[in-house]
């Protein structure tokens, strides 16, 4: 059994490591090298795993699967390596690997704990790649738009999704992120101060939204650019006095999937 690590401790640890290296882009490969970790960028077939940390003969080995897009210095490869560094630096994870308690893949019996551990490693990666002090300095007094997310994602060499997650947590403007497949919402995440918490249809993407029109194959020319939407079209529990409140939505589609970032005008 591996005990959960408080997120505040993970944040403090990750950002201490990042800021120790006085570089805009956190040098994840160099961090691994300085810790004596053996890195392998190899092909392990797509759909198997992104990264895996193994403890063998008193040494740690990290395998990055290039067949799943985890190439060195790519946004995905950097996040995956940062995630694996989380397993190494977070005490409970490292001890779990050394004792054989933490295994690379979940089973039915340990899936809940496995998912919690993976979320901790993801949070470590986010804090390592986008330290709060640097990130907030980059957004200070900047007006929010999707262009800001694009700018930040390039500055930190992270994906749009990872950058939006970090912005929702520590940015200077409340946003909501919605991800859907085949017209159904798989998950959403919003800033603590975002004015709405519930979607109008819960799981089905509302039709009168940019994302909804994409899945309905209507007005697809508006996709991948910011468009005005109304609070009542996306959210539940909108007061009568707020029915004319407008938001901006930027939808990024990919085949049967789409991600929307929503913010108040």
What string of pLDDT tens digits covers the 265 residues of the chain? 677 899 999 999 999 999 999 898 999 999 999 999 999 999 999 888 999 999 999 999 999 999 999 999 999 999 999 999 999 999 999 999 999 888 766 445 466 677 889 999 999 999 999 999 999 999 999 999 999 999 999 999 999 999 999 999 999 999 999 999 999 999 999 999 999 999 998 899 999 999 999 999 876 666 778 999 999 999 999 999 998 999 999 999 999 999 999 999 8
Distance between CA 106 and CA 119 in Å, rounded?
13
Global pTM value = 0.92
- SS3 at position 229: strand
136 lies in a domain? no
User: Which has the closest alpha carbon to 250: 239, 261, 236, 265?
Assistant: 261
* Per-residue pLDDT at 111: 63
> Based on the domain organization, do 189 and 122 belong to the same domain?
no
Is 217 inside any structural domain?
A: yes
Domain boundary among 129, 148, 164: 129
H-state helical runs in the chain: 7-20, 28-34, 75-89, 91-99, 111-129, 132-139, 146-156, 160-170, 210-215, 231-234
Per residue, the 3-state secondary structure of 178-191, as one string, reads: EEEECCEEEEEEEC
Residue 163 placed within a domain: no
Structure tokens at 71: 């190439």
pLDDT for position 1:
63
pLDDT at residue number 106: 47
Based on the domain organization, do 32 and 106 belong to the same domain? Answer: yes
Q: Is the distance from CB of 162 to CB of 129 less than 8 angstroms?
A: yes
Q: How many domains does one find in the chain?
A: 2
Give the pLDDT of residue 222.
62
The domain of 14 spans: 7-129
Structure tokens belonging to residue 139? 């957004």
Report pLDDT for 201: 86
Q: Select from 75, 107, 129 the last residue of a domain.
A: 129
């Amino acid at each position: 059994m591996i005990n959960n690590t408080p997120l505040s401790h993970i944040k403090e640890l990750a950002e201490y490591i990042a800021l120790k290296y006085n570089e805009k882009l956190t040098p994840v490969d160099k961090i691994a090298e300085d810790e004596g970790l053996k890195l392998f960028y190899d092909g392990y077939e797509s759909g198997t795993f992104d990264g895996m940390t193994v403890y063998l003969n008193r040494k740690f080995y990290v395998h990055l699967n290039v067949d799943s897009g985890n190439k060195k210095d790519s946004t995905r490869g950097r996040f995956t390596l940062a995630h694996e560094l989380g397993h190494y630096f977070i005490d409970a994870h490292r001890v779990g690997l050394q004792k054989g308690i933490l295994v690379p893949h979940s089973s039915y019996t340990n899936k809940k704990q496995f998912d919690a551990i993976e979320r901790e490693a993801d949070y470590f990666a986010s804090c390592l790649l986008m330290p709060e002090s640097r990130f907030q300095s980059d957004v200070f007094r900047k007006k929010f738009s999707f262009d800001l997310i694009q700018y930040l994602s390039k500055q930190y060499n992270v994906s749009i999704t990872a950058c939006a997650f970090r912005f929702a947590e520590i940015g200077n403007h409340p946003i909501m992120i919605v991800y859907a497949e085949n017209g159904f919402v798989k998950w959403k995440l919003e800033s603590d101060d975002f004015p709405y918490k519930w979607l109008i249809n819960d799981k089905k993407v509302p039709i009168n939204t940019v994302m909804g029109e994409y899945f309905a194959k209507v007005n697809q020319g508006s996709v991948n650019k910011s468009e005005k939407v109304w609070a009542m079209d996306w959210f539940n529990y909108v007061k009568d006095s707020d029915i004319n409140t407008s938001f901006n939505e930027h939808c990024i589609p990919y085949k049967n999937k789409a991600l929307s970032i929503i913010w108040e005008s």
